Amino acid sequence: MISFTIALLALLAGYLLYSKFIERIFGPDDRPTPAVAHSDGVDFVTLPSWKVFMIQFLNIAGTGPIFGAIMGAWYGPVAYLWIIFGCIFAGAVHDYLSGMLSVRHNGANLPFLVGRYLGGKARVVMLVFSVFLLMMVGVVFVYSPALLLKDFGGTTTLWVIVIFAYYILATMLPIDKIIGKFYPVFAFALLFMAVALMVCLFVKMPELPELWSNLDDCNRNTNTAWLGTTGYMAKNPLFPCLFLTIACGAISGFHATQSPLMARCIKSERMGRPIFYGAMITEGVVALIWATVSMYFFYYGGWRECVDAQTANEFIAQFQGGSGKTLIQFFAAPSVVEKVCTGWLGLFGGILAIFGVVAAPITSGDTAFRSARLIIAEALHLDQRSIAKRFYIAIPMFIAAVALLLWQMENPDGFNTVWQWFGWSNQTLAVFTLWTITVYLVQKRKLFVVTLVPALFMTVVCATFLMVSPMAAGIDTSVGYWGSLAVLLIAILWFSAWYHKQTKHNNQ
């Protein structure tokens, strides 16, 4: 519990101190925001700041900080370090500056911002890339809740149809009709679940693996081995897999597609720090809580409080097999949510668990499709005040999404394939966003190192995955890591050359 407590305090200190430092670098002022200057009653709508925060939190969170943290917990307490440093110095900075950059550019979507600062070719790549990623988000977060809802009646296909029908409504209607009314309630429930589990942790004060724990201490208290000594780590090396597994709790490119939604709804630039930076820190806290609960569940027999030994052994065996199948991990994660919530919080916890594994992914899916609609509309210069024009984009978009979903359902390894590449695409999107912000800061003669370092790190993470992942090149890590070093050096040289040219241009 010591490592967990320190990590919790570190996230709080990050918001109180580092967020103000980042805010001073950007320099918010009193100019009219897009919600005020371009109000259209559909997407540009001024909302109360507390409501904007809750919607932003749920938009970027969903089940990401829960499922990702559960899967990341198998790397042990080192997950704490990634959540702390990733969230404070990368993820929250990424979210705040991308959100504020959208505010400064009339609520522009990510592809426009990328094109504005990285060039027209980068904009075209990002347009296709981001729309495809958003569609993958929507498809990924249709199938998993449908599988769970069928236990309450109906078939998986029926629930997929129902969820898609909801997606169409949420995508087409003005943002204050469904999202503005229900999302704050869902966000409150997600936060309440996390806080309740945190209280349980401090009341129980369970023995947990610490950052300084040795393997013998961990193995002595459970019938499972520390994952670093099993086939799982061999198939899923700490670098880069941890940094792709825990994404939404540390840094996630998906957030940069969601922040423009709220950039069109805030009434003052000065609310950007609590809304964008604060929502990411809050998400980091949720991830930290679930990583801690999961470590107790996995390593120190916490499952005994929630489920019988036979079921637990079968569950744990899924991970110990070393298959590297994200499909197994993903569908095991909802089991952890259900067992922990019902075991620790009773009937009310069971209700929260259903929310966590059903409502949260659905709310991520609908805002993903909404963001895709707006990105396409912006690229086509198609005004969205008319519902007919919204249908022009939504109909072909949903047809393509259904085709991807059908392929996923019919292919035995379809979900695993989509999820693996979704994880990589998500972090690659963060790379584009961080480089965009870095170029912006250089051009504005602001302190750019705050995004340059995360941009370099995430560039290497994504490049390493392409080299060492069995789903990509599959190069041995002993060779792949040298390739990663080469990528780092190339990125540094490229930026140095560009920076020298930019500085020379600014001085003329």
Per-residue pLDDT tens digits for 336-371: 777 777 778 887 777 777 776 677 778 778 878 888
215, pLDDT greater than 50: no
Q: What is the pLDDT of residues 66-99, one digit of tens each?
A: 878 887 887 888 899 999 999 999 999 999 999 9
Structure tokens at 261: 């939604």
> Which token pair is 177?
């009709």
Specify the higher pLDDT residue, 350 or 130. 130
Query: Considering all CA atoms of the chain, what is the largest pairwise distance in Å, rounded to the nearest integer?
Result: 73
Tokens encoding 350: 């069971």
pLDDT of 100 above 90 = yes
The stretch 492-501 carries a mean pLDDT of 94
Tokens 């979704």 label which residue?
A: 422
Note the pLDDT of residue 190.
82
Higher per-residue confidence, 497 vs 359 = 497
Residue 445: the pLDDT is 93
Count the neighbouring beta carbons within 10 Å of the beta carbon of residue 25.
17
Chain centroid, CA 299 distance in Å: 25
What CATH number labels 2-411?
1.20.1740
Give the containing element (helix H, strand E) for 308.
none
Domain boundaries, the chain: 2-411
User: Would you state the pLDDT for residue 93?
Assistant: 97
What are 474-490's pLDDT values in tens digits?
Answer: 888 888 899 999 999 99
* Per-range mean pLDDT, top range of 288-292, 373-377, 408-412: 288-292
SS (H, E, C) 220-236: HCCCCCCHHHCHHHHHC
